[in-house]
Every structure is written in C-alpha cells, then in structure tokens.
C-alpha cells in the first residue's frame, strides 16, 4: 500500500527536495533531432480492411523507409511474434531477432516458409531483394546475405510495418505515467525490482506518430510519459504509484518546475478499471491527509494514442552521463531515489 507517512515526511522537508526536482525539469526538453522526421499525419487511410495512419501506408503501400534507429522495435526484446500491420499475418518470431547494428529490426529467418515473398528491387541505383507480406503484399523491408548462422540472412524490417503479439502476455502488466520530463522518470522506474522494461513515449494527444519537437511545441496534446512493463507478482501497481507521487510535484498544473506546457502535465494513463480505481482512491487519500499544501491536479485518463519516443531518448541518463543536464539534474535525483527506495531496487 501507499506509504502516506513516508510521502508526508519527504514533503514536509521538501525545500531541498524541490531544489532538486525543480532542476529536474530545467530546459530538459531542449534537445532536438538533427534529422528531419518522416512525414506524419493524423489522417487515417484505408489499407485492406483496416484504417491505418498515412505514415504507415507510406511504408507498406508506397515502399517508403523509416529513419534508422527510430522504430519502436529496433531494440525490442520481448518474447512473442511479429505480425504484418496490414493483415495481422505472423511473419517473424522473437527467437530469430538479433541486433544487427543497422538501425532497423533484424531477423535471420521467417516464422514459416512462404510467410514473405521476395521481389527484385532496382531502385536508387542498387540491386536489392525486397520482402513483402505474402498475404497482403505490404512492403516490409529488404533481405540481405550478411546475417548470422544458420541462414546467413538478414531480414531488415521497418517497425511501422509490424505489430507485436507478446508470448504469455498475461504474465506482465503495464502502467503509463506522465510526471514531467521522461528522462528522470524512466531512469528511476527501471531500477525497481519487478519492473521488466521502461521506455519513454508520448500519450494522450491527437497527433499520430509525433516527433519530439512537435510534442515540445505544446500543440499535439501529448504528454511526455514513461511506459512501465512490470511483473505484478513482484511489484504491485500500488508500489509503482508510490514512486510516481514521489518523483514529481502532482500539484503543479501543466508544468514541472521550469518546464511549462501541457506536455509536462501530471497524469496517470490507466490500462484497466482496477488501475483507475486505485489511482482515484489514492488521490482522495492523499488529499484528505494533506500531504501537499496545494490540491493534487493529476489527471486520470484511459490510455490512448501512445507512441514510443525516438530511440535517442531511451536510457538517456545512462548513455549520456557527461551531458550537463544529466550531471546536474538527473544524477542528484537518481541518487536520492536510490537512498529512499533502496529496499525496492533490483540490486540492493
């Protein structure tokens, strides 16, 4: 259950705490991409018996290619099956996926003979072998003869051409929290025992497949969020909520510290009615106990329109330890988190 006493003690002595947490959002989202993003649109267009975003159809219908290292399945490691986004036909098993370093999801074999078809591709002055879904003819990517054993092949795929069905998906659950800049949020949650995976993203807005710059403009309606995949047998949603309340100031409306805008709003995107009920009861209890002087403004919304953030945001703190923001903002916050939540960490 939520430790109200611990939260109250933290916040009663919050002058030093807020000095850290306010810094946690100092210009945290000023980093920008150098590469122009693939054109995206909120419009849906027909593909077979589905309605899909235009940017997806730019790939599977028009033969486009997403930028390297931006696809949501590049570093995806969950066990399961990758299916065609156009018709749901199973194409590749997670057991044949490997990291090729190319920037696109790579597999050394198809899930079954005949799942994809090969077409000679002479575009861009090159001779390549295109792969398409055998069932609906969706463009998937290309296959190359530089893969690992036993096939020696590298099936190079566009993430947007794929959908994923997890193996034993009922053994894990998901939670999605918005608590300001997602660099701090991701770093802390991923160290908890029972958390399988954490990845930053955008949720709750109207723009399809938004870029970081679009979200930072405050015009997409999206919030910066962290998606947490967890094992409920090891850590409960209640315990995740405890860290959520601690890691940010839920009384600040559409901002965290110096980061101002709806993209930094405090929000719990629930994945089930149970999560919704638990969150609402905790807000009621926190309000009654007057843990904060000001009222809690955290939104409680059903998860909708979630998109993974660009790859360079993933594990940002650990991959960019010399970054000035990481040195002066994220590091002090993470160190404080490790002390307070020591008994809940994976390696305590």
pLDDT in tens, 172-206: 899 999 998 898 899 999 889 888 889 899 999 99
The verdict on 158 and 59 lying in the same domain is: yes
Q: What is the pLDDT of residue 207?
A: 92
Work out the mean pLDDT of the chain and round it to a whole number.
85
What CATH number has the domain bearing residue 250?
3.30.1060.10
The verdict on 325 and 187 lying in the same domain is: yes
The verdict on residue 10 lying in a domain is yes
Whether pTM exceeds 0.85: no
The verdict on 117 and 182 lying in the same domain is: no
Percentage above 90 pLDDT, the chain: 57
The verdict on 139 and 218 lying in the same domain is: no
Active-site annotation, residues: 156, 181
The verdict on 191 and 148 lying in the same domain is: no
Do residues 91 and 110 lie in contact, with contact meaning Cβ atoms separated by under 8 Å?
yes
The verdict on 158 and 285 lying in the same domain is: no
Q: What is the pLDDT of residue 211?
A: 92
The verdict on 160 and 175 lying in the same domain is: no
Residue 215 has pLDDT above 60, yes or no: yes
Q: What is the pLDDT of residue 348?
A: 54
Choosing from 106, 135, 166, the residue where a domain stops is 166
The total domain count for the chain is: 2
The verdict on 321 and 237 lying in the same domain is: yes
The verdict on 256 and 211 lying in the same domain is: yes
The verdict on residue 96 lying in a domain is yes
What CATH number has the domain bearing residue 132?
2.170.150.20
The verdict on residue 229 lying in a domain is yes
Choosing from 133, 166, 199, the residue where a domain stops is 166
The verdict on 202 and 279 lying in the same domain is: yes
Domain that holds residue 142: 44-67+79-166
The verdict on residue 39 lying in a domain is no
Residue 30 has pLDDT above 50, yes or no: no
For 82-110, write each residue's pLDDT tens digit: 999 999 899 999 999 999 999 999 999 99
For 252-302, write each residue's pLDDT tens digit: 999 988 789 999 999 999 999 999 999 999 999 999 999 999 999 999 999
The verdict on 162 and 176 lying in the same domain is: no
Residue 41 has pLDDT above 60, yes or no: no
């Amino acid at each position: 259950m939520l430790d109200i006493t611990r939260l109250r003690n933290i916040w009663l002595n919050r002058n030093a705490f807020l000095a850290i947490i306010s810094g946690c959002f100092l210009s945290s989202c000023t980093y920008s991409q150098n590469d122009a993003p693939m054109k995206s649109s909120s419009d849906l267009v027909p593909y077979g018996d589905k309605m899909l975003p235009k940017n997806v159809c730019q790939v599977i219908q028009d033969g486009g290619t997403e930028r390297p290292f931006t696809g949501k399945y590049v570093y995806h490691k969950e066990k399961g099956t990758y299916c065609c986004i156009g018709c749901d036909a199973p194409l590749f098993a997670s057991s044949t996926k490997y990291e090729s370093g190319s920037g696109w999801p790579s597999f050394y074999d198809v899930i079954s003979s005949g799942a994809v078809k090969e077409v000679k591709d002479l575009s861009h002055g090159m001779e390549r072998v295109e792969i398409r879904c055998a069932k609906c003819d969706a463009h998937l990517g290309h296959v190359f003869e530089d893969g690992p054993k036993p096939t020696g092949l590298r099936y190079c795929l566009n993430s947007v051409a794929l959908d994923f069905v997890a193996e034993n998906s009922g053994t894990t659950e998901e939670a999605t929290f918005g608590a300001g800049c997602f660099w701090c949020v991701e770093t802390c949650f991923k160290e908890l025992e029972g958390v399988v995976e954490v990845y930053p993203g955008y949720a709750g807005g109207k723009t399809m497949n938004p870029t970081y710059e679009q979200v930072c403009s405050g015009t997409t309606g999206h919030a910066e969020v962290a998606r947490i995949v967890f094992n409920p047998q090891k850590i409960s949603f209640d315990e995740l909520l405890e860290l959520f309340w601690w890691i940010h100031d839920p009384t600040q409306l559409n901002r965290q510290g110096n980061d101002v805008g709806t993209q930094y709003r405090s929000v719990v995107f629930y994945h089930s009615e149970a999560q919704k009920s638990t969150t609402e009861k905790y807000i009621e209890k926190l309000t009654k106990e007057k843990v904060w002087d000001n009222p809690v403004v955290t939104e409680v919304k059903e998860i909708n329109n979630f998109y993974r953030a660009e790859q360079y945001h993933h594990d940002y703190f650990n991959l960019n330890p010399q970054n000035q923001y990481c040195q002066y903002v994220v590091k002090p916050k993470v160190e404080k988190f490790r002390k307070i939540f020591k008994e809940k960490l994976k390696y305590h």
